[in-house]
Chain A
Amino acid sequence: MRRRDFFGNVLAGLGTAALPLPVWADAGAPDFVTAGNMPDNSTWLVGLNTGGDVLFQIPIPGRGHATALHPTRPEAVAFARRPGRFAVIIDCASGTEIARLNSPEGRHFYGHGTFSPDGALLFTTENDYDAPAGVLGIWDATDGYKRIGEVTSGGIGPHEVLTLPGGGLVVANGGIQTHPDMGRAKLNLPSMQTNLTYLDANGSMTDQVALDGEMHQNSIRHIALDHQGHVVAALQWQGSPTRDVPLVLRHVPGADPGFLSHPDERHLKHYAGSIATCAETGEIAVTGPKGSHVLFFNADGLPNGSAQHGTAAGVARAPTGGLMITRDGGLVHRANGIETLIPVVGDWAWDNHLVPISI
Chain B
Amino acid sequence: MRLFAFAAACLLPAQILSAQAPAAIDHAGISDRALTVIESQFSAFRDASAALAQTATIHCNGGAREPVLDALEATWLAWAPLDAYQFGPIEQQAAALTVNFFPDKKNFTGRALLQHLKRPDAEQGDPAIVGASSAALQGLPAIERLLFEDLQTCPALVGITGNLSQIAQSLYDGWFAADGWADLVRKAGPDNPVYLGHPEFTKQIYTAIDFSILRLKDHRLSRPLGTYERAFPKRAEAWRSGLTNQILTAQIDGIVALIDLGFADAISPPARDEALKILDELRTRIDAIGGPLADAVEDPLMRIRIEGIMSKLDHLKTHLDENVSPDLGVQSGFSAGDGD
Using a CB–CB cutoff of 8 Å, the interface residues on chain A facing chain B are 37, 39, 41, 43, 63, 65, 81-82, 111, 130, 181-191, 221, 236, 240-242, 266, 269-271, 273, 289-290, 292, 308, 310-311, 313-314, 326, 328-330, 340-341, 343, 349-352
Contact = CB atoms under 8 A, between A and B. Distances in A.
Interface string B306-340: 00000000000000000000000000111111011
Chain A interface, >50% SS class: loop
Interface string B1-35: 01001100110110010000000000000000000
Contacts of A43: 334
A328 B13 contact: yes
B196 A269 contact: yes
Nearest to A236: B339
Contacts of B92: 189-190, 240
Contacts of B337: 289-290, 292, 311, 313
A182 B96 contact: yes
Contacts of B96: 182, 185, 187
Contacts of B105: 130
Contacts of B219: 181
A190 B96 CA distance: 12
Given A130-B106, A343-B5, A311 B13 contact: yes
Contact of B194 (A186, A189, A221, A269): A269
A201 B9 CA distance: 45
Nearest to B184: A241
A79 to B, nearest CB: 11
A328 B9 contact: yes
16 contacts: A37-B334, A181-B219, A182-B97, A190-B93, A221-B340, A240-B92, A269-B194, A273-B336, A273-B339, A290-B339, A311-B13, A311-B336, A340-B6, A349-B333, A349-B334, A351-B334
Contact of A341 (B6, B193, B336): B6
A189 B91 contact: yes
B193 A269 contact: yes
A27 B32 CA distance: 53
A314 B340 CA distance: 12
Contacts of A270: 193
A185 B86 contact: yes
Interface in B214-264: 214, 219
A313 B13 CA distance: 13
B288 interface: no
Ranked 5 nearest A-B pairs via Cβ? A310-B13, A313-B336, A185-B86, A37-B334, A329-B9
B2 A266 contact: no
A343 B9 CA distance: 8
Given A269-B193, A289-B336, A350-B336, 12 more contacts: A41-B334, A111-B340, A181-B103, A187-B97, A190-B92, A190-B94, A242-B179, A310-B10, A310-B13, A310-B16, A349-B333, A352-B340
B211 interface: yes
Interface string B130-145: 0000010000000000
A292 B190 CA distance: 11
A273 B333 CA distance: 19
B332 A41 contact: yes
A43 B135 CA distance: 38
A313 B335 CA distance: 9
Contact of A188 (B6, B94, B103, B339): B94
A39 B37 CA distance: 34
Centre residue among A130, A310, A340 by max chain B CB count within 10 A: A310
Interface in B188-222: 193-194, 196, 211, 214, 219
A326 B106 CA distance: 43
A96 B334 CA distance: 24
Contacts of A314: 336
A310 B335 CA distance: 10
A328 B333 CA distance: 14
A221 B340 CA distance: 8
Given A330-B9, A341-B9, A289 B335 contact: yes
Contacts of B336: 273, 289, 311, 313-314, 326, 349-352
Nearest to B83: A182
Contact of B12 (A63, A310, A351): A310
Nearest to A182: B96
A314 B336 CA distance: 9
A289 B339 contact: yes
Nearest to B6: A341
Contact of A189 (B94, B211, B214, B340): B94
B108 to A, nearest CB: 9
Contacts of B193: 241-242, 266, 269-270
